[in-house]
């Protein structure tokens, strides 16, 4: 009979020591990532940890010996998708094990953190469940699972997981990338009433300045030209300054800008309450800080913002955006919106429409409110009907899509710097990233991945731009 355990000891065998235990045959892992950019980063670091244990990442689930679902718990449907996928994987596991092949199933991320014991109860095929703070212990968990112990490791780790993860630039066979994520902060203390993050990711924790500078330098030495700083509430990052004082995200950006070879900086996701003067100054002073800011507001109604516990008003948000645009006129805004929050009236929704019309977004993410168990919002009265939420979301998305299209069209004829990231579908075509985070297709036969070239935008597509090289 298998035994379920709740945690692994922090003193368990470190990842680096697991290399010698890798099997002679190359094991393969397929990682399915749900949700936010933080999960994309976490999936990459889990792949690093597993590489040190002898696993090679594959894009073909059928050839994998381990399938790992890195999950999101923000919306109800995301969790439902995970359980649906686990049902299909259960059948795949039966087939593979009947052939005598190793096939293991792991669940990571926020659903794992919130529902760890429930996952192993509902899905007998799952071997390992690890939370966002314990995925560095995946090799140890898999070792235990092979001995017949189903592992649930969702405690908040005592040790710093980043100190136990291998250096991604020293992993043999790892593909060179020119853009990279760098987690600077995790968790959130804001407790918005709709959000489960404080319960699945924990309290706000900032990584140290020295640790971040070291990792950033390693990334740049490995060929990275652009770094995106990540955090559940990234602009809440704080660290100890050399003089003993406290540094904020703006100070960190100035420090990172001094790294030779680093060409571009971005950060996400921000909270309006943590956009301080120093961070706004960084947008003014640092040309390498790209003119694109994801600044969620969620609603344009003060009454709904209060119910959401956002602790700012619509006018505060508008004034903040105006301050940022004053110092960086070319900045483009992205945002998040929730429609149909409990108690939202037609007038509340109209306030949101008015705010969107006033601000003008280059891109935005919008969703119907989905109650998450354990959050205060789920217990609020006056829930909005699905039909009304659907109607409001359609209207909002129509407006946001028009703004996105209008912004893209405004770039036609403009010349901009383009960081070349990967080959395109056509011979000689390379796909690059604009300063405003759009994909740009360009014929650049004389250039190579990692170059920053000047292009003139000639046309737009549904989800990308097209450009031509500007000869110097």
Helix (H) or strand (E) holding 205: strand 205-206
Tokens of 149: 């112990």
User: Is the CB of residue 237 less than 8 Å from the CB of residue 206?
Assistant: yes
CB atoms within 10 A of CB 410: 13
User: Is the CB of residue 390 less than 8 Å from the CB of residue 437?
Assistant: no
Do the bridges between strand 452-460 and strand 415-423 make them parallel or antiparallel, or are there none, so unpaired? Answer: antiparallel
Give the Cα-Cα-Cα angle 223, 225, 229 (nearest 5 degrees).
115
> In 3-state terms, what secondary structure has residue 224?
coil
CA 372 to chain centre: 20
Reported as half-sphere exposure (CB side, CA atoms, 13 A), residue 371 has a value of 14
Instruction: Give φ, ψ of 71 to 5 degrees.
Output: -105, 160
Spatial neighbors of 45 by CB under 8 A, at least 6 apart, are 135, 136, 165, 168
For residue 192, say whether it is annotated as part of any ligand binding site: yes
For residue 36, say whether it is annotated as part of any ligand binding site: yes
CA distance 336 to 194: 13
CA distance 157 to 136: 10
For residue 379, with 0-12 CB atoms within 10 Å meaning exposed, 13-18 middle and 19 or more buried, which class applies? exposed
CA 11 to chain centre: 29
| CB burial string 423-451: b at 16+ within 10 A, e below | ebeeeeebbbbbbbbbbbbbbbeebebbe
For residue 110, say whether it is annotated as part of any ligand binding site: yes
3-state SS, one letter per residue, for 261-307: CCCEEEEECCCHHHCCHHHHHHHHHCCCECCEEECCCECCCHHHHHH
DSSP secondary structure, 379-424, as one string: G-S-PPPHHHHHHHHHHHHHHHHHHHHHHHHHTTT-EEEEEEEEE-
For residue 195, say whether it is annotated as part of any ligand binding site: yes
Cα-based distances in Å from 395 to 302, 349, 398, 402:
20, 10, 5, 11
Q: Which residues are annotated as a binding site for [4Fe-4S] cluster?
A: 36, 72, 110, 188, 192, 195
Q: Which residues are annotated as a binding site?
A: 36, 72, 110, 188, 192, 195
């Amino acid at each position: 009979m298998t035994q379920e355990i709740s945690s692994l000891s922090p003193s368990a065998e470190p990842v680096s020591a697991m290399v010698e235990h890798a099997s002679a045959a190359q094991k393969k892992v397929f990682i399915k990532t749900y949700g936010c950019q933080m999960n994309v980063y976490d999936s990459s670091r889990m792949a690093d940890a597993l590489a040190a244990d002898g696993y090679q990442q594959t894009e073909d689930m059928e050839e994998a010996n381990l399938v790992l679902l890195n999950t999101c718990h923000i919306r109800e449907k995301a969790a439902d998708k995970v359980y649906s996928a686990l049902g299909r994987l259960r059948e795949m596991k039966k087939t593979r094990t009947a052939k005598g092949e190793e096939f293991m199933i792991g669940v990571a991320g926020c659903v794992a953190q919130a529902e760890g014991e429930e996952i192993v109860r509902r899905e007998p095929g799952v071997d390992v469940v690890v939370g966002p703070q314990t995925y560095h212990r995946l090799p140890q968990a898999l070792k235990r699972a092979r001995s017949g112990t189903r592992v649930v490791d969702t405690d908040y780790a005592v040790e710093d997981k980043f100190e136990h993860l291998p250096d991604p630039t020293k992993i043999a066979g790892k593909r060179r990338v020119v853009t990279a994520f760098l987690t600077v902060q995790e968790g959130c203390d804001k407790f918005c009433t709709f959000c489960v993050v404080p319960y699945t990711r924990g309290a706000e924790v900032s990584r140290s300045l020295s640790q971040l500078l070291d990792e950033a330098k390693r990334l740049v030495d490995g060929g990275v030209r652009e770094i995106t700083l990540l955090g559940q509430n990234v602009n809440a990052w704080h660290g100890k300054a050399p003089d003993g004082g406290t540094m904020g995200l703006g100070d960190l950006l100035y420090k990172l800008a001094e790294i030779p070879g680093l060409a571009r900086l971005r950060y996400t996701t921000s909270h309006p309450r943590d956009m301080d003067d120093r961070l706004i100054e960084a947008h003014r002073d640092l040309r390498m800080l790209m003119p694109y800011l994801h600044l969620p507001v969620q609603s344009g109604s003060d009454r709904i913002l209060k119910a959401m516990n956002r602790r700012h008003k619509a006018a505060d948000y508008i004034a903040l955006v105006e301050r940022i645009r004053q110092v960086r006129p070319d900045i483009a805004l992205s945002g998040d919106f929730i429609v149909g929050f409990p108690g939202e009236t037609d007038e509340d929704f109209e306030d949101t429409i008015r705010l969107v019309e006033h601000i003008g977004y280059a891109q935005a993410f919008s969703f119907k409110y989905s109650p998450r168990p354990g959050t205060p919002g789920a217990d609020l009265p006056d829930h909005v009907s699905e039909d009304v939420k659907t109607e409001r979301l359609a209207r909002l998305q129509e407006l946001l899509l028009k703004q996105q299209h209008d912004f893209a069209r405004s770039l036609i004829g403009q010349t901009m710097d383009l960081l070349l990231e990967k080959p395109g579908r056509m011979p000689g075509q390379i796909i690059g990233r604009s300063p405003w985070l759009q994909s740009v297709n360009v014929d650049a036969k004389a250039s190579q991945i990692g170059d920053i070239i000047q292009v003139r935008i000639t046309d737009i597509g549904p989800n990308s731009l097209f450009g031509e090289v500007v000869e110097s």
